[in-house]
Structure 1
Amino acid sequence: MAEKQKLSSSSSGDWRRIPLCTFFKDARQVIKLDSLGVEILSIALPAAMALTADPIASLVDTAFIGRIGPVELAAVGVSIALFNQVSRIAIFPLVSCTTSFVAEEDSTTTGATTPVDESEVLEAGPPSDAETKEFLPQKDLSGESFDMVEEEQQKKRHIPSASSAIFIGGILGLIQAVLLISAAKPLLNFMGVTSDSPMLHPAQRYLTLRSLGAPAVLLSLAMQGVFRGFKDTRTPLYATVAGDVTNIALDPLFMFVFGLGVSGAAIAHVISQYLISVILLWRLMKQVDLIPPSIRHLKFDRFLKNGFLLLMRVIAVTFCVTLAASLAARHGATSMAAFQVCLQIWLAVSLLADGLAVAGQAILAGAFANKDYEKATATASRVLQVLHNVDRNLSD
């Protein structure tokens, strides 16, 4: 009898070990604000607000450009779709890999100290009086200790993936800028904007000017990936809001006061992107030592190995949006203008769920690095359940 009960209890518990059942684990705690729920919410909410800030700013851009005319709105829509397609091919793998790698390295190096070779200490012998004085805190003329400067330097984190991400982001940004500027007309022709189309000239002008901000876009997103790895989504939010407010403020100034039209919208956007990059770099330099000791400390192989798999996924996902934009452009300026408005609204709503994905990625990377598999399982089930509820509510 006891054996039957044991078998029945073991068989009833085996279904919980099925991977699919992990998604439904602790489903009643999906909205519970325990320690894990608070951690997810503190990361996801600012991340979602930062992700939706740029589409909202693009909606404002669309509203301003729509006042010029449907041809200009359609031309800008084609250029934005092309720019985003090229950018996302590099952005998503870079940001995703950066978040995971930084979270892993930050979790494993927190509290780590530099090992001391005992043999060197024994061979050196006891310190002399001069050496003892050298290690004592020395006061300068203002009465401050030099050790405070050394202590401030030691507070900076040594995260090789952060330096690698910024270097890769800068290089990819320059490549993207050169590619889009030099091949703007052929790429627009491929998107359905032919040489006799009235959209060609404003689209080419907007795409060329906006491409100047490609290095800033990839650098800022790489640094956002670093901050996400630190589970700090507030700093990217503040920087993004500052840049988008600047963009919205400069749009009417450049477009209508200076009479630059779509060129003014592109210039305002480029200025806002470089402002975001400067703010993030300034904040990051206070926390991380971005200059590696040597090129060997930059882990490019990890980014290439994992980023390639994500690259294939991003190409497949963004191809649909690019194809839709190309088909809309072939139907004329009015159809493309309507598509641009609907696309920006859809992006602003759909990116709300990405904040949860950012939170899950950062927490999972840290949990796996610390071999806390229980927390990893709980985080995965909680995030997937919340995402399911968000998706169901948006579809309703």
Structure 2
Amino acid sequence: MEAVRGLFSSIGEMPISVFFRGARSVFKEDELGMDIMQIAIPATLTLAADPIASLIDTAFIGHIGPVELAAVGVSIAVFNQVSKITIFPLVSITTSFIAEEDSMIPTRIDRHKYASIFCIWNGLRSQQRNGSGNGTSVNGTSCEKEPRIKSKRKHIPSASSAMVIGSVLGLLQTLSLIITARPMLSYMGVISDSPMLKPAKQYLTLRSLGAPAVLLSLVMQGIFRGFKDTKTPLYATVVGDAANVILDYAFIFVLRMGVTGAAIAHVISQYLISFILLWKLTRQVNLVPPSIKDLKFKRFFKSGFLLLVRVIAVTFCVTLAASLAARHGMTSMAAFQVCLQIWLASSLLADGLAIAGQAILAGAFAAEDYGKVTATASRVLQLCLVLGLGLLAVLETVLPFTSRLFTNDDKVLRLIRVGIPFIALTQPLNA
């Protein structure tokens, strides 16, 4: 019996056991489950909105022609590679830092309340009202008056730091993409005599003008997620992406601007999203720090470096695949672009649960509630596994019948059907 107990005990300590710990409660509507869903559902809708808009872009461009579809596919691969390298580490650590700092604010407020009650208990306040005292200090808090709140806006040093870093990175990305557009496309396999070169360069150059807005909007989404507010980013993203779809149709089909119109529509929508988020954020957070010393650049760079290495490794695979597809010709690249956008749209659904887990874990660690840390990790991983299996079933069933929404070219459609099993089977692992 002791041997059997020892065996089960050792299994319980293995990493794989996280998928089975409390598995019966995976859909339980308890406090933890509700916290996860309240963050994850709006976050998932926010993350899904942009890929869905990109899918509509792809469908619109696909009906212009396979050359344009392939050209935009290469350009988006280059833009996403550069964007994710510059922004993903920043967004991830911003969410954690904001959640940690925000969770500590109530502690400071409670200390003031405690000191105020202590002053009343000892009759010190009545002495002051009668003019018999000049004020007493209890635990560092003045009894002279209740702590006055000068502003309802929070002071979060990490928010100011992230906004400064995001602005600088956005400008650098715009300049680098404009200057190196031709060499990057050449590296991706778009040679000088390729019919894809001109539309690809046009799209990449114009879309790069929206890089500052993209990076700032993602940073602000990371800040809101740290506050466990995923509804504000959802509102802003839906408004921006709706504008993108409307402008896409107007510029591509009404004004006949082709891929140029698609790029301009995307840039306008990104600045609209950034404006909405900035307007909302400035009402909650004081983004102007008291001094330069209040910014926490060192903390961001130290934590972001390891995440940067991880992101480069992940995105390099996608960029390499796009490069190989482009070298096989515009038919292969067009099919790859459709498959990639479908994969991204479905894969990002799991990120909503990841965001919920990240925000809750950061707060739990700051409060030293390690029981909640363990429970949150198990519940989020179990939900992601269920979601991945569900996506596998849906994509394998639906995609063979919906491919014509993206293109009418029979050769492209044939290659898309080849890619469908890979899109579907990778969902559980990705989730």
TM-score by length of 1: 0.87
Q: Which amino acid aligns with 2:69?
A: L
Aligned to 1:372: 369
Secondary structure (helix, strand or coil) at the match of 1:112 reads helix
- Cα deviation for residue 18 of structure 1 reads 5.2
- Does residue 289 (structure 1) correspond to residue 290 (structure 2)? The answer is no
Paired residue secondary structure (1:183): helix
| Preserved CA contact (<8 Å) 1:23 1:380 | no
Cα-to-partner distance string for 1:183-233 (whole Å, 9 max, x where unaligned): 100100000001111110110010000000000000000000000000011
Residue pairs, 1:63-74, within 5 angstroms: 63-74=59-70
Return the match for 1:340 from 337, 341, 356.
337
CA drift of 1:21 comes to: 3.1
Quote the Cα distance in structure 1 between the aligned partners of 2:6 and 2:334: 61
Which residue matches 2:410? Answer: none
Q: How does 1:42-121 map to 2 (within 5 A)?
A: 42-113=38-109
Question: What is aligned with 1:39?
Answer: 35
> How large is the RMSD of aligned CA atoms in angstroms?
2.4
The code of the aligned residue for 2:164 comes to F
Deviations 1:264-305 (A, max 9, x none): 110000000000000000000011110111111111111111
Within the candidate set 273, 276, 280, 1:279 is matched to 276
Distance 1:180 1:371, change over 3 A: same
Aligned to 1:319: 316
1:213 to 2:213 alignment: no
How many residue pairs were aligned?
A: 365
- Listed as ranges, the matches of 1:1-396 within 5 Å are 16=12, 20-113=16-109, 151=149, 153-396=150-393
* Separation of aligned partners in 2, 1:287 and 1:371: 26
What is the distance in 2 between the residues matched to 1:319 and 1:106?
A: 34
Aligned counterparts of 2:332 and 2:307: Cα–Cα separation in 1: 32
Letter in 1 for 2:289: P
Deviation at 1:63, TM superposition (A): 1.3
Query: How far 1:109 moved relative to its partner?
Result: 1.6
Higher relative contact order (CA 8 A, sep 6+): 1
User: Aligned letter for 1:81?
Assistant: A
Aligned sequence identity (%): 66
Structure 1 residues not aligned, in runs of 5+ = 117-124, 133-149
For the residues of structure 1 that align with 2:6 and 2:58, how far apart are their CA atoms? 60
* Partner residue, 2:419: none
* 1:128 shift after superposition: 11
Counterpart of 1:77, as a letter, is G
Partners of 2:391 and 2:214 in 1: how far apart?
29
Per-residue CA shift, 1:318-363, capped at 9, x if unaligned?
1111111111111111111111111111111111111000000000
**Worse-matched range after superposition: 188-197 or 22-31:** 22-31
Q: Shift of residue 12 of structure 1?
A: 6.7
1:119 corresponds to: none
What is the distance in 1 between the residues matched to 2:27 and 2:240?
A: 33
Q: Report the TM-score, using the length of structure 2 for normalisation.
A: 0.80
Cα gap change, 1:8/1:77 in structure 2, threshold over 3 Å: closer, same or farther? closer
